[in-house]
Structure 1
Amino acid sequence: MKHGFVKTAAATPDIRVADTAYNQEKICECILEAEKLRAKILVFPELCVTGYTCGDLFTQDVLLRNARQALLHIAEFTKEKDMLVFVGLPLCVEGKLYNVAAALNRGEILGFTTKTFLPNYGEFYEMRQFTPGPRTARMIEFEGAQIPFGPQLLFPCRNMEELVVSAEICEDVWSPVPPSIQAALEGATVIVNCSASDETIGKDVYRRELIRGQSARLIAGYVYANAGEGESTTDLVFGGHNIIAENGAVLEEAQRYENDIICSEIDVRRLSGERRKNTTFGGTEERTLFRVPFCLDVEDTELTRKFPRQPFVPQDDGVRAKRCEEILMIQAMGLKKRLAHTHAKTAVVGISGGLDSTLALLVAARAFDLLERDKKEILAVTMPCFGTTDRTYNNACRMAVKLGATLREVPIGEAVNVHFRDIGHDPADHSVTYENSQARERTQVLMDLANRDGGLVIGTGDMSELALGWATYNGDHMSMYGVNASVPKTLVRHLVKYAADTARDEELKMVLYDVLDTPVSPELLPPREGNIAQKTEDLVGPYELHDFFLYYMVRFGYEPGKIYRLARQTFAGKYERAVIRKWLETFCRRFFSQQFKRSCLPDGPKVGTVALSPRGDWRMPSDAWASGWLEDLEKE
C-alpha cells in the first residue's frame, strides 16, 4: 500500500446452485488464493453463497438458513486474513428478503450493502423474490450483533486515509443514477460490484465500457466480480467477466467463460489527487452515508500492473496513427487561426534538419493547405553556423523544397563572430556564451525577416525541452506562435514518423526517415570529423526517461520517490537504477530552476492532458525550491 497502491482482486468461484456448504468452501479457497496474491480488497459475485439462479428456492427457509451459516463460516475464515472481502448472499430482515453484499474484515461482518435497483425485465425477475433496499442505512441484529444494513455504506480504512470503499450490486451500475455516485461524492475512492450479469451477444463490450466509464465519471477505482460457470444454465449462461478499472482505464480483465481470479493495484492516492484538481467533481461536505471503519496492514505493495515506457504515446499502432493525425490537425488549426487573425503574409520557420523544426514545418504546410494558400508563402530559413553538419543542412534544404516552401539560407557565422568581438568573448571558449549567441542570432534573423515580410515566426521548441529548460532564453525559447509547445519529445518523433509513413512523395519520405535517424542535437559546437559533436541526450539524459518523469509529476502529482519506483520497474533491463536516479534528480532540479523560461512562453495550442503554458495548465512561481522533492527521492 506504499505510495497509495492497493492490491484488489475480483474472483469467480466454482459453485453449485443452492449448495451453500460447497460454495463456502470454494469461496474460502479463493480467499486463500487472493491472500497469496497479497490482495487487500477481494470481491465475489452477486448471491454467490447460494448461486444467483436459485429462483423460487430463495423463498425456502432451508436455503436462507444455510446461507447465514455459510456467511458466518466465511467471516470466521477471514479472521487471520488482512483483507476486506465482499461476498453476495440473500438475507432475510424483518420478514423481507434482500439481495446484499456482506463486507468482511478480520473475522467481523462490517455491514450489509443492499441492492437498490432490482431488474424485472427480459430474463430477470428479481422482484419476484427480493425487496429493493431501504432508502437509508440502519442497524439490524444479525446473530446477536448490531450490523449496519442499507445502501451505499462507506468503509474507510483507518490507517490509509485515501482508501474508502463502497459497494453496489449488479443492476445498480446499469441504472440512470447508480448508488456509487453518492458514495463517490462522499469520499469513496474504490467501488466494488458483486454482479451476476449473463452473457448475450455483444454484452461484454457494453459491460466493459460501462465499468470503464463509471470509473472515469467517478474518478475512482472499480472492482467488478461477475458470476460464472456453475450457475444454472436453464435459460442463461454466465461468463465470469471480471473487470478492474481505474479512472477510465481497464487495468485487468478476466478471460470470459473461465472461472478465475484477477488482480491489479488501484492507485488511490492518484485518485485523490485527481479529485483535488477536478473542480467539477466537487464532492459534498454533507455526510449522509453510514461509515464503517476497517483496518489493513500498510505494506509495500508488489506491483503487477504495467506502466508504458512512453506514456504520451499510444502503444497500439492504429490508435497511435489516429492520435498523430489528430495532434497534427490541432496544431495546424491553431496556427491557421493565428495566421488568419493577424493577416500574416508569411510563416517564418527556422529549419535545422532536426525533429522539432521538421515538425513545425510540417504543421505550417498543413495550416497553409487548410487556408488554401500557396505554400511558397512559407519562408523556411536555414542558418548554418559553427556546429552545422552536411547531413542536417542537406535534409533541411531538401525537406523545405519538397514541401513547397520558399527556402532562404542565412549563414550566421560572421555575424556571431562580430558579436563575440563586441562583447569581448574568445571564440575558442566554447562555453554557454558561445552556444547561446548562435541561438539568439538565429532568433533575431527570424524575427527581423518576419518584420520585413509581414509574417509570424513559428516556434519549434517542444514541451520536453521546456520542462528541462533546454532552450536559450530569448533565443529558440521565443517565437510568435509555438506550435510544438505542448508536444513532448517522444511524441514529436512519432508525429514525424507518421508524416513520413503517409507521405506520397518518396523523396520527402526518405528525408523524413533520415531526420528520424539523426541524433537529437542543438548543433552549437563544431562537428568532429563531419559528425554531430553535441548530443542532447548525453548532456541532459534520455528523453524517454524525462517524458516519463514529466508525465507522472505534472499529470498526477506523483512524488519523486514514487516516480523512481515506477521507472525502476518500467525500465528494468534498459537502464540501471543509478542511471534512472541520476536523471530523475536532474529532472527535478532543472524543472524547478528553469520555470522562469516557462513563465513567459509565447502562445501555442494545447494538444494533450499535460501542458506547461503559464496561462493554462501549469502556474508555478519561478522562485520555488526543489528541496522537498529531492529529499523525497533521497528517502527511496
Structure 2
Amino acid sequence: MTHLLENRIILSLAQINPTVGDIDGNMEKARAARLKAAEDGADLLVLPELFVSGYPPEDLVLKPAFQRACREAVEAFAKETADGGPGVLIGTPWVTDDALWNAVCLLDNGTVESVQGKVELPNYGVFDEVRVFDQAPLPGPMGFRGLRLGAPICEDIWFDQVCECLMETGAEMLIVLNGSPYARGKADQRMQVAVARVVETELPLVYLNQVCGQDELVFEGASFGLNADRTLAFQMAPFQEEQVNVVMERADDGWRCTGGPVAALPDRNEETWQACVLGLRDYVNKNGFPGVVLGLSGGIDSAVCAAMAVDALGADRVHSIMLPYRYTSDESLSDAARCAEALGIRYDNVPISEPVEGFLSALDPLFSDTQADTTEENLQSRTRGTILMAVSNKFGAMVVTTGNKSEVSVGYATLYGDMNGGFNPIKDLYKTEVYALARWRNANHPTGLLGPEGEVIPANIIDKAPTAELRENQTDQDSLPDYDVLDDILDCLVEREMALDDIVAKGHDKAVVERVQHLLYIAEYKRRQAAPGVRVTDKNFGKDRRYPITNRYRDRVKG
C-alpha cells in the first residue's frame, strides 16, 4: 500500500508529444514518463488530455475496436502501478455500456481507481467533440493517497460550473489535463480563464498542455500553475517536450506550489515561427516521409518555407529545385542558389521549357484563334507542380507547398500548380507577416531549430518586388493591391468579419474593398482543394472558417 500524502505532493508534469492513433507508441511514452517520475521522486505523474488516443482523434474514436484498445491499454498500465511507485493521471477515451467519454483516469495500487468524463464538450472552430463524445455528469474530487484532487478536463475550466462543483465537494487543488491548440493570443486567454477559476474556487490550479503538431493544429505546451492567491507558481517552456517536478505543500491556508520552473514566453514572431516549424516537423515525421522537396523560386515565400523546413528537419532532409522558364530572371536564379547555399540544402535546376512548349504545341489546334492569357501562365505553374510531384513519387519526399494566406485568400494561386503539395507551413500567414518573419529569422536562432544561424534568407529576396514571373516584367501588384493594403482588408474580412462600410471607414478605397471581397468569395473552391497547413489564427482556412463554395451573397458599401 502506498503512503499517505498529508502535507506534500510532488507532481511530475509530462508535457510530451503523442501521436493520434498510436496507442502502443503513446503508452511507451507514458511508461517512460512514469519511470522518470519514479527516478525523480514524484508521487503522481500527470499526462495530457486524451494522451492514450492522441488529440484530437476525430471520428477515429467512434470505431469500437479503437475504443476497446484504448481502454485495454489503460487497464494494462494501471496494473503496473501496483509497484508502489507514482500514481498516474492520464487522459483517454473511455467507453462504457452506454457512453463514450473524453475521460481522465486515476491509476494507482494496480488498478483504475477513478474515471471521470469531460462535462463541457467544445463544439466550435476546430472542435467537434459533441459529435464524438457523450457529456459526462458533474464530477467530484478523485481520492489519491489521502488527498482530494479535482481533475477538470480542458474546456471544463472555460466555464465555472465544473470547478465550482469540485470546490464545493471538497477538492484541495485543481489539476487540469489539456489538449489546447495554439493560436495567437491563446496563452493570454488561457491565463485569464485559469485566474478566473482560481478566484472563484480559491484553489491552486495546475494546467498541463500537450506539445505536438496534429494535421493543421499545433499544441505548444506552455503548461503553467497558479497559486490560490493568483500568483504564477511555475511556467513551462513552449514548443518543446519536457517533464518537470512541481512541489505542492500544505500551509495553514491551503496548498501552495513551492517549486517549479519559470520559463520565458516568446514574442509574436518567435512563437509564430516555432509553431510553423513544429507543425511541419510532426506532419512529416508522423506520416513517415523521409524528407521534403520544394520549388525554390528566388521569391520570399519559398525561401521562408525552405528555412522552416531546415529548422524542422535538418538540411539533409530538404531538397530544393529551381524550375526556370523564359520569364525567370537572372536575379531569381542567383537568389535561389544563394538561399540554398545559406541553408546548406541540395539544389537542382530543372528547366521547364520543353514540357511547357510541349503542352502549348498539343493545345495549339484548340487555342490557335485565341489570345494568350492566364491559361498559358497557369501551364507554367502546373508544369512545375507536375515535376515536383514526380520527384516526390520517385524518392518519397513530401512536396511542401508555399502559398501564403494573402494569395490563397484572393485566388492568386494555381490549382494543381503552385498549390500542389502535401503540407503548407505558411498557409495561415499573410504576405506582410512572411516578410516580417524572414527578417526576424535572419536575426534570431532560438533553441530547438536545426538550421544554421545568421542570414539564411538573402536580403535581396526580402527587398525586391514580389513577382510570379509568369510573363514579362510581371509583379504581384499588377493584379493585387499593395500587400500592406490587401492584408489589412483581408484581416478585416477574414479575421474580424467586418462590414464593408466599416472597412471603407478605415480609409480603404470602396472599389478595392468590394473587389477583394469578390475575389475572396470566388476562390473558395480553390481553398477546399488546398493542402493542409499550420494554423496560427482562429480564422485559418479549414475548420475555423467554413464558407459555402456556391455563394452569391456580396456585402455592398452603402456610404
**TM-score of the aligned structures, taking structure 2 as reference length:** 0.50
In structure 2, relative to structure 1, the CA distance for the partners of 1:564 and 1:213 (3 Å cut) is farther
Q: 1:380-529 counterparts in 2 under 5 A? A: 380-424=320-364, 425=367, 429-502=371-444, 509=455, 512-526=458-472
Shift of 1:213: 5.1
Whole-Å separation in 2 of the counterparts to 1:406 and 1:552: 40
Aligned to 1:347: 292
SS in structure 2 of the partner of residue 407 of structure 1: strand
* Rounded Cα–Cα distance in structure 1 between residues aligned with 2:355 and 2:368: 14
Following superposition, the deviation at residue 438 of structure 1 comes to 0.3
User: What are the within-5 Å matches in structure 2 for residues 314-353 of structure 1?
Assistant: 322-353=267-298
- Find 1:600's aligned residue among 509, 512, 529: 529
| Alpha-carbon offset, residue 549 of structure 1 | 1.6
CA distance in 1, matches of 2:453, 2:437: 18
Q: By how many angstroms is 1:342 displaced?
A: 2.5
Contact 1:540 1:586 survives alignment (8 Å): no
TM-superposed deviation, 1:322: 2.1
The whole-number CA distance in structure 2 between the counterparts of 1:604 and 1:546 is: 21
Shift in alpha-carbon separation, 1:537–1:544, aligned structure 2, 3 A? same
Contact 2:403–2:424, Cα closer than 8 Å, also in 1: yes
CA distance in structure 2 between the partners assigned to 1:333 and 1:367 by the alignment: 7
Of all paired residues, the percent bearing the same amino acid is 24
Q: Offset of 1:429 from its aligned partner?
A: 4.8
* Aligned counterpart, 1:620: 547
Q: Distance in 1 between matches of 2:538 and 2:296?
A: 28
1:478 Cα deviation from its structure 2 partner? 2.4
Contact kept? 1:554, 1:610, Cα under 8 Å: yes
Supply the distance in 1 between the matched residues of 2:379 and 2:334 (Cα, whole angstroms).
23
User: Quick one: structure 1 residues 433 and 503, their matched pair in 2 at CA, closer, same or farther if it must change by over 3 Å?
Assistant: same
Whether contact under 8 Å (1:355, 1:520) holds in the other structure is yes
**1:387, 1:525 within 8 Å by CA — same for their partners in 2?**
yes
Whole-angstrom CA distance in 2 between matches of 1:606 and 1:476? 20
- Tell me the distance in 1 between the aligned counterparts of 2:485 and 2:267: 24
State the distance in 1 between where 2:402 and 2:337 align.
17
What SS class does the counterpart of residue 267 from structure 2 fall into? helix
1:591 alignment counterpart: 520
Shift of 1:427: 12
Paired position in structure 2 for 1:611: 540
**In structure 2, how many angstroms separate the alpha carbons of the residues matched to 1:327 and 1:525?**
33
Alignment of 1:22-421 (within 5 A): 322-369=267-314, 375-421=315-361
Whole-Å separation in 1 of the counterparts to 2:502 and 2:515: 16
CA deviation profile, 1:213-264 (whole Å, cap 9, x unmatched): 59x989xxxxxxxxxxxxxxxxxxxxxxxxxxxxxxxxxxxxxxxxxxxxxx
Three-state SS of the structure 2 residue aligned to 1:540 is: coil
Q: Deviations over 1:375-426 (max 9, x none)?
A: 1231101001122111111111111122111111110012101110011146
1:330 Cα deviation from its structure 2 partner: 1.1
Cα 1:540–1:426 shift into 2, 3 Å: farther
Q: 2:511 aligns with which of 574, 582, 593?
A: 582
Q: 8 Å contact 2:340–2:346 — kept in the other structure? A: yes
Distance in structure 2 (CA, Å) of the matches to 1:507 and 1:326: 17
* C-alpha contact (below 8 Å) 1:336/1:367 kept by paired residues: yes
Work out the CA distance in 1 between the residues paired with 2:369 and 2:339.
32
Whole-angstrom distance in 1 between the partners of 2:481 and 2:381:
21
How far is the alpha carbon of 1:595 from its aligned partner? 0.7
2:503 paired residue among 563, 567, 580? 563
> Using a 3 Å threshold, how does the CA distance of structure 1 residues 325 and 434 change in structure 2: closer, same or farther?
same
Q: 1:549 aligns with which of 489, 506, 512?
A: 489
- Cα deviation, 1:529-576, whole Å, max 9, x if unaligned, reads xxxx111123111122221122222222211111111x21xxxxxxxx
* Deviations 1:16-60 (CA, angstroms, capped at 9, x unpaired): xxxxxxxxxxxxxxxxxxxxxxxxxxxxxxxxxxxxxxxxxxxxx
CA change 1:426–1:323 in 2 (3 A) is: farther
- Tell me, in whole angstroms, the C-alpha distance in 1 between the residues paired with 2:274 and 2:354: 39
Assess if the C-alpha contact under 8 Å between 2:342 and 2:457 holds in 1.
no
> Cα offset for 1:513?
1.4
**Aligned amino acid, residue 550 of structure 2:** D
Structure 1 residues 177-205: Cα deviation after superposition (integer angstroms, max 9, x where no partner):
xxxx99xxxxxxxxxxxxxxxxxxxxxxx
- Letter paired with 1:584: V
1:284-340 Cα offsets, whole Å, 9 max, x none, are xxxxxxxxxxxxxxxxxxxxxxxxxxxxxxxxxxx9982222111111111111221
Q: 1:621, CA displacement in angstroms?
A: 0.9
Seen in structure 2, the aligned counterparts of structure 1 residues 217 and 388 have a Cα distance that, compared at 3 Å, is farther
Across the aligned residues of Structure 1 and Structure 2, the Cα RMSD in angstroms comes to 3.2
What is the CA–CA distance in structure 1 between the aligned matches of 2:335 and 2:488, rounded to whole Å?
30
Rounded Cα–Cα distance in structure 1 between residues aligned with 2:463 and 2:424: 24
Distance 1:320 1:416 in 2: 49
**Cα 1:417–1:543, aligned 2, differ >3 Å: closer, same or farther?**
same
The TM-score normalised by the length of structure 1 is 0.44
SS of residue paired to 1:481: coil
Q: Post-superposition shift, 1:354?
A: 0.7
Contact 1:346 1:453 in 2 (8 A): no
Mapped to 1, the partners of 2:427 and 2:406 lie a distance apart of 9
State the distance in 2 between where 1:556 and 1:534 align. Answer: 32
Instruction: Output the CA distance in 1 between the equivalents of 2:309 and 2:517.
Output: 33
Supply the AA of the counterpart residue of 2:493.
M
CA distance in 1, matches of 2:275, 2:416: 26
Give the drift of 1:509: 2.2
For 2:343 and 2:285, locate their aligned partners in 1 and report how far apart those are by CA, in whole Å. 21
Change (3 A) 1:404 1:428: farther
Inter-partner Cα distance in structure 2 for 1:333 and 1:427: 51
Does the 8 Å CA contact 1:376/1:405 hold for their aligned counterparts? yes
Judging changes above 3 Å, is the alpha-carbon distance between structure 1 residues 624 and 378 closer, same or farther for their aligned structure 2 residues? same
Q: 1:426 to 1:357 in 2, by over 3 A?
A: farther
Shift in Å, 1:508 = 6.5
**Alignment partner of 1:482: what SS?**
coil
C-alpha distance in 2 between matches for 1:506 and 1:428: 50
Structure of higher CA gyration radius: 1
In structure 2, how many angstroms separate the alpha carbons of the residues matched to 1:610 and 1:387? 35
Inter-partner Cα distance in structure 1 for 2:456 and 2:400: 24
Q: Distance in 2 between matches of 1:334 and 1:354?
A: 22
**1:610, CA displacement in angstroms?**
2.8
